[in-house]
Structure 1
């Protein structure tokens, strides 16, 4: 330990040990990806926190100290975490959470997160609990990756065993809806062969009237999120349908369906051709997180695989049908030729028989 100005710090002084520990924790976690915050008093005022903590809870807009955690993160009140802090402060017993789910943020910036964390009591020189240290590591990506791998593997297996396209697309839509932390509706539209219109593919959770209304919409600039994404061959993110000009012609329909945001991504073939669109709808205005866009890209790729496989099978079936039709027509032509030949032979035999009779009759008449 380094001392200055002739002062010596006693290792036996609990207050000094406490302050040093806090400073060491701030130093250790200052640039770490692990989250750290020091809370004080019954209101759990944020006394200090590292950048990773503020990033995890919402970024610079929430990078403040000197405010109660319930004021900084009001969404925690209904999720039980404030009550847990109260319990640790009251009992002095730490709390350890594993893969705890928490919904962070409010409004369009809401996101689901998972953490391994500890609430540790802070004590003063007299041993009285004065606050709580929050130490943790975000496990959101790992949690989502585990769930995603299981669901994605099942979809790929469906495609491999040549399950019907509708079954694959509806399964994919429900999979994503189940993975999402908030209510989410997925829609897959399929491009016509000319790429000028989009047809209903799958949207198990959107109202039937909505699916029927957009079935066959044109691709083009400003034609909602999906028509524009198909036209541009790039993602189109509409965070608020109520104010976005792309939705001028569909705003009343969206309002009736109860959707307020729509993020659409084109589904492209390996050669860049348009196969369809993949869209995520939300009931409230919503800004996508990077994880949302990554999820959309993954499943748009899976949808492309399913659609291309379906088209290949359709083309193969059509080719087989054409070949079978040709074989059937050839067989019918052979049978027709055989029938004609048999008829010709029968007529020739009849003619020969008639000629023989006529000759016999002529001979008989000549001898009389």
Structure 2
């Protein structure tokens, strides 16, 4: 198992190195020798002439210093602008300039050896941007922030102009929603927000349906874009290749698309960018889904806890109310027993007998009794109270007048 793990790590490292080479190319080495105080080119390889020109004039200050002092000089990340206009690009070199001497030690000229560091700088930037994205994911930054930053990073790192779009799959996998596309026009993003996944639904809908990359090199003629061709033309899009973003269990998370303003075939550096960042997008989306699920679970737990607390509170209130009713029933039952003893002398008292210790000055209108044979006369209010709290008590007026008085009070 350990040997297998080492093989996997070696394979991953080799794949990463291959992607970086595809993205940034191979480093260029340059060499030239100069003679005399005027720094006349004696020999130079083609790479040097292409980069610094036939006379190396851009290095004249450095060459003069080495020739004058007789001491070697090293310059890191020397910037050179190659080309002009829209095709201009900057490159960087590490240069070592050494004096050339005759047998007597006199300086005859200067030797220049250099290695291009453009690829290293770009690779360092890529790694820094990638690390920053991973840190955002780790601290649970909003998904839109992570995806937008990733899209901008890819657009800036790409050697040619391109536009990045990330669409997110709905839970049912049948539609795709806008995730990030910072450089595409708003009308385009709004138009494709919610598109269906299916065969022939543009590059992204088809890639999501097939669960495999879909490359459209010419939007103007590809049948997958029949329903979106006018939209793409308005947005200035000529080609599009889309890759499904898949979860670790194979589930669809979304799509990762790269658009170009012209019809073109993807290069190896395009695939390298996809390989580097598709996994990062999957990680960000999965982490987001997990966080949403965690928050939903916590909300459910909190809701259940609140419901339980409310049930306990209600149960306590009901229990307290039941205890109060039991106490009231006991007191009223006692009052009836006292009243029953009194009735032996006064069968129909003038005033209510159910007022307890405080008494009651209202007329005794209704007679009530319980299953034990005890009875009492009371006013309408106290009779109602005893009927509510003592289940065995009933209206027992010998004439219907008492019951009618209670019902029609």
Unaligned runs of 5+ in 1: 1-31, 38-48, 54-68, 70-75, 119-134
Deviation at 1:100, TM superposition (A): 4.1
- Going from structure 1 to structure 2, the CA distance change for 1:251 and 1:154 (only over 3 Å counts) comes to same
2:212 match: 234
1:217 match: 195
Deviation at 1:87, TM superposition (A): 5.7
Is the contact between residue 113 and residue 138 of structure 1 (CA under 8 Å) also seen in structure 2? no
2:377 match: none
Please give the alpha-carbon distance, in whole angstroms, between the structure 2 residues aligned to 1:241 and 1:309.
Answer: 34
Please give the alpha-carbon distance, in whole angstroms, between the structure 2 residues aligned to 1:252 and 1:170.
Answer: 26
1:305 match: 283
Aligned ranges 1:284-299 → 2 under 5 Å: 284-299=262-277
- Going from structure 1 to structure 2, the CA distance change for 1:357 and 1:228 (only over 3 Å counts) comes to same
Is the contact between residue 201 and residue 224 of structure 2 (CA under 8 Å) also seen in structure 1? yes
Which of 303, 307, 314 aligns to 1:329? It is 307
Is the contact between residue 112 and residue 181 of structure 1 (CA under 8 Å) also seen in structure 2? no
Please give the alpha-carbon distance, in whole angstroms, between the structure 2 residues aligned to 1:252 and 1:266.
Answer: 24
Count of residue correspondences:
279
- Going from structure 1 to structure 2, the CA distance change for 1:148 and 1:358 (only over 3 Å counts) comes to same
Aligned ranges 1:1-368 → 2 under 5 Å: 85=53, 98=78, 100=80, 114=91, 116=93, 139=117, 141-368=119-346
Deviation at 1:85, TM superposition (A): 3.4
Q: Provide the secondary structure at the position in 1 that maps to 2:53.
A: helix
- Going from structure 1 to structure 2, the CA distance change for 1:237 and 1:137 (only over 3 Å counts) comes to farther
Is the contact between residue 195 and residue 219 of structure 1 (CA under 8 Å) also seen in structure 2? yes
Please give the alpha-carbon distance, in whole angstroms, between the structure 1 residues aligned to 2:83 and 2:307.
Answer: 66
Please give the alpha-carbon distance, in whole angstroms, between the structure 2 residues aligned to 1:94 and 1:172.
Answer: 40
Please give the alpha-carbon distance, in whole angstroms, between the structure 2 residues aligned to 1:300 and 1:148.
Answer: 14
Deviation at 1:114, TM superposition (A): 4.4
- Going from structure 1 to structure 2, the CA distance change for 1:222 and 1:112 (only over 3 Å counts) comes to farther
2:39 match: none
Deviation at 1:35, TM superposition (A): 7.1
Q: Provide the secondary structure at the position in 2 that maps to 1:362.
A: helix
Is the contact between residue 27 and residue 117 of structure 2 (CA under 8 Å) also seen in structure 1? no
Please give the alpha-carbon distance, in whole angstroms, between the structure 1 residues aligned to 2:303 and 2:188.
Answer: 40
- Going from structure 1 to structure 2, the CA distance change for 1:367 and 1:218 (only over 3 Å counts) comes to same
- Going from structure 1 to structure 2, the CA distance change for 1:358 and 1:111 (only over 3 Å counts) comes to farther
- Going from structure 1 to structure 2, the CA distance change for 1:353 and 1:33 (only over 3 Å counts) comes to closer
Please give the alpha-carbon distance, in whole angstroms, between the structure 2 residues aligned to 1:102 and 1:237.
Answer: 32
- Going from structure 1 to structure 2, the CA distance change for 1:117 and 1:355 (only over 3 Å counts) comes to closer
Deviation at 1:222, TM superposition (A): 1.5
Please give the alpha-carbon distance, in whole angstroms, between the structure 2 residues aligned to 1:244 and 1:137.
Answer: 44
TM-score by length of 1: 0.66
Query: Radius of gyration: which is bigger?
Result: 2
Unaligned runs of 5+ in 2: 1-25, 32-44, 64-74, 96-112, 347-409
Deviation at 1:165, TM superposition (A): 0.9
